[in-house]
C-alpha cells in the first residue's frame, strides 16, 4: 500500500492544486491532502474551511483508484508524513523558480525522515503561473480568476469579501 502526503497551505485551493491531485492519483493507493494550519500567516480561510473546500472540490477530479483524504496538520510536514505512515511527500513544480525552494524543503524533509521520498510532479503548463497568493490578489482587486480556481472556491472568496 503506497500512501502519500500532499502538503500545502491551500489558501485557497486552485485548479493547479487539483491538477497535481489528478496526476498523483495513478501513482498511489492513498493520498492525504494535508492542509497546514499556519498560525504565523494570516490566511484568508481557516484550516477547517480550506479542508472543507478541498473535500467539496474533489468529486470533480478523476482520482481513479486512489483514496483521497483531507486533514489539517500543524508542525513539521515530515513528522506528519511519518505519523501517517506515508512513503512519499508530493509537491508540484510550476516553473524553474519553484525548484530552489522545493529542493531545500525536500532535502530538509529527507534529513528529518530519511525513508520518506519527495516526489515532484510538473503542473500542467496552463497552471504554471497560478498560485494561491496571486489568485487572492487578483480577486481582491476585482480581476477575473475563473478557470484558475474552482467555482465553489470563488463563491467562498466572494462570501468572505462581502462579510
Ligand atoms: O502551499 P505551500 O505554502 O507552498 O506549502 C508549504 C508547506 C506547507 C509544504 C511548508 O511550508 C511546510 O512543510 N510547512 C510545515 C512546517 C515544516 O515542515 N517546515 C520545514 C519544511 S522543510
Domain range list for the chain: 3-161
Compute the distance from residue 47 Cα to the ligand 1 centre, in Å.
Answer: 14
> pLDDT by residue (tens digit) across 108-156?
999 999 999 999 999 999 999 999 999 999 999 999 999 999 999 999 9
For residue 87, name the pLDDT band (cuts at 50, 70, 90): very high
**What is residue 40's predicted lDDT score, i.e. its pLDDT?**
74
For residue 161, name the pLDDT band (cuts at 50, 70, 90): confident
Of the two residues 41 and 111, the one the predictor is more confident about is: 111
Query: How many CA atoms within 13 Å lie on the side-chain side of 148?
Result: 19
For residue 41, name the pLDDT band (cuts at 50, 70, 90): confident
Query: Which residue's CA lies nearest to atom 12 of ligand 1?
Result: 77
Query: Which residue's CA lies nearest to atom 6 of ligand 1?
Result: 8
Compute the distance from residue 7 Cα to the ligand 1 centre, in Å.
Answer: 7
Mutate to test the pocket of ligand 1, among 16, 21, 34, 36 (most ligand atoms within 8 A of CB): 36
- What percent of the chain shows pLDDT beyond 90? 94
**CATH number of this structure's domain 3-161:** 3.40.50.620
Mean pLDDT value of segment 26-47: 92
Mean pLDDT value of segment 155-160: 96
Closest CA to 130 of 85, 161, 93: 93
**How far apart, in whole angstroms, are the C-alpha atoms of residue 53 and residue 10?**
10
> pLDDT by residue (tens digit) across 60-76?
999 989 999 999 999 99
**What is residue 163's predicted lDDT score, i.e. its pLDDT?**
65
Q: Count Cβ atoms below 10 Å from residue 104 Cβ, excluding itself.
A: 10
- Tell me if the pTM is above 0.95: yes
Atom of ligand 1 nearest to the CA of 76: 18
Compute the distance from residue 147 Cα to the ligand 1 centre, in Å.
Answer: 26
Average pLDDT in the chain: 96
Which H helix or E strand runs over 56? helix 47-57
Query: Which residue's CA lies nearest to atom 4 of ligand 1?
Result: 8
Mean pLDDT value of segment 27-37: 98
Which H helix or E strand runs over 36? strand 30-36
For ligand 1, whether the C-beta of 135 sits within 6 Å is: no
Compute the distance from residue 77 Cα to the ligand 1 centre, in Å.
Answer: 6
Atom of ligand 1 nearest to the CA of 105: 22
Amino acid at each position: 500500500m503506497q500512501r502519500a502526503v500532499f502538503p500545502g497551505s491551500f489558501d485557497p485551493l486552485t485548479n493547479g492544486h487539483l491538477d497535481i491531485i489528478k496526476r498523483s492519483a495513478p501513482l498511489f493507493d492513498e493520498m492525504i491532502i494535508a492542509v497546514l494550519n499556519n498560525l504565523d500567516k494570516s490566511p484568508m480561510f481557516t484550516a477547517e474551511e480550506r479542508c472543507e473546500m478541498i473535500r467539496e472540490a474533489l468529486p470533480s477530479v478523476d482520482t481513479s483508484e486512489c483514496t483521497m483524504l483531507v486533514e489539517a496538520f500543524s508542525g513539521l510536514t515530515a513528522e506528519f508524513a511519518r505519523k501517517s505512515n506515508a512513503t512519499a511527500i508530493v509537491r508540484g513544480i510550476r516553473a524553474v523558480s519553484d525548484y530552489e525552494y522545493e529542493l531545500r524543503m525536500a532535502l530538509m524533509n529527507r534529513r528529518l525522515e530519511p525513508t520518506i521520498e519527495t516526489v515532484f510532479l510538473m503542473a500542467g503548463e496552463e497552471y504554471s503561473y497560478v498560485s494561491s497568493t496571486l489568485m487572492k490578489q487578483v480577486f481582491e482587486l476585482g480581476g477575473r480568476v475563473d478557470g484558475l480556481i474552482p467555482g465553489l472556491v470563488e463563491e467562498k472568496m466572494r462570501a468572505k469579501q462581502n462579510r
